[in-house]
Amino acid sequence: MLQIKDLKAKIDNKEILKGLNLEIKSGEVHAIMGPNGSGKSTLSNVLSGKKGYTVSGDVTYLNENLLDLEIEERAHKGIFLAFQYPLEIPGVNTNIFLKTSLNAIKKAKGEKELDAIEFLKLVKQKASELKFDEKILSRQLNVGFSGGEKKKNEILQMSILNPKLSILDETDSGLDIDALKIVSEGVNALRSKESSFLIITHYQRLLEYIKPDFVHVLINGQIVKSGGSELALELESKGYENLS
């Protein structure tokens, strides 16, 4: 599904990613762990198309050159980024935003757009699966949401948009254990042969709930070690320092 070869990314003339290689196949869950400043968020930003980076290398997604695609085209083709810090958008109703987003993607795929009733039915179902209070959805997007509500809202968007490749950027940070369980269940419910996940995290904690197929260690812009889910436990006990 996704092949990354020798990916380099610079911002303000500072090189953050320094030749990263990674392959994710359909149905796989990959976790990327690494200390602060190792380039984890840069990787998720570059994959979803955020402007401001000077990027080189090859990234192939579903047999297309991903780096040639605009931000919204990547979303149309099934890439979803759950933000580490979801933005507050004053004046924009959450439900209207969700519907606009879903229909933009459906339209790009040539599928029939949902009308208001069909959409509400879908949103109700998904919200109740995530134990997410529907009332929140009539509020302004993320405005005044608690940290946990913002993260749940990201997962709700993910489950409504049903992406092929989901990138979760430190989704576990700021979540208490109950919220963490709910979010993990939401992610696990989406696991299938057709969908893949890239989970970026600091801690092993999230990986107790979402069991990855592969764990990679990102240090100083490069993947220095890869392994199975047991690598996460090893990192937890030994730390990153013994790796580099």
Partner 1 sequence: MEQLKIDFDKVIESLKLSDENINSRKKNFNQFIENGFPNKKVEDWKFSDLNQIISSNIENLCFHSDLELSEIDETIFIDKFAHNKIVFLNGAISNIDFNYEDDTKVLLTRDLNQNENFKEVNPLVSLNNALTASYIRVTVKENYSFNKPLIIYNITTKDLKSTALNLKTDIVLEKNSSLKVINLFDDNSENNFINIVQNFDIAQDATLKNYKIDHKTNSNIKYCYNNINLEKNSISENFIFSTGSKFIKNEINCNLNDEYSSAFINGILNLTKSQHHEIKTNINHLAENTKSYQLIKSVLNDNAKGIYQGKIYVDAKAQKTNGYQLSKALLLNENTEFDGKPELEIYADDVKCSHGATSGNLDEDAIFYLMSRGLSHQQSKELLIKGFLLDAVEKITDEEIKNLIKDMMGIVE
Minimum CB separation of residue 71 from partner 1 in Å reads: 4
Residues forming the site for partner 1 (CB under 8 A): 48-51, 70-72, 74-76, 80-81, 83, 86-87, 89-93, 96-97, 100-102, 104-105, 108, 140, 157, 161
d(CA 191, CA 210): 10
- Spatial contact of 205 and 172, defined as CB atoms under 8 Å apart: yes
Minimum CB separation of residue 219 from partner 1 in Å reads: 26
Closest to partner 1 by CB, 118 vs 236, is 118
Element (H, E) at 5: strand 2-11
Closest to partner 1 by CB, 28 vs 169, is 169
Element (H, E) at 22: strand 14-24
**Torsion of the alpha carbons at 58, 60, 65 and 70, rounded to the nearest 10:** -100
d(CA 156, CA 177): 18
HSE-CB of 181 using CA atoms within 13 angstroms: 3
Minimum CB separation of residue 106 from partner 1 in Å reads: 9
Going through 89-177 in order, the beta strands assigned E by DSSP cover 165-169
Closest to partner 1 by CB, 88 vs 236, is 88
Minimum CB separation of residue 205 from partner 1 in Å reads: 26
Closest to partner 1 by CB, 74 vs 126, is 74
Minimum CB separation of residue 87 from partner 1 in Å reads: 4
Minimum CB separation of residue 109 from partner 1 in Å reads: 10
Cross-strand pairs, 199 = 31, 168
Minimum CB separation of residue 23 from partner 1 in Å reads: 23
d(CA 196, CA 25): 7
Closest to partner 1 by CB, 29 vs 156, is 156
Q: How far is CA 239 from CA 34, 47, 91, 137, 244, in A?
A: 10, 27, 44, 40, 11
Closest to partner 1 by CB, 54 vs 100, is 100
Closest to partner 1 by CB, 108 vs 233, is 108
- Spatial contact of 148 and 118, defined as CB atoms under 8 Å apart: no
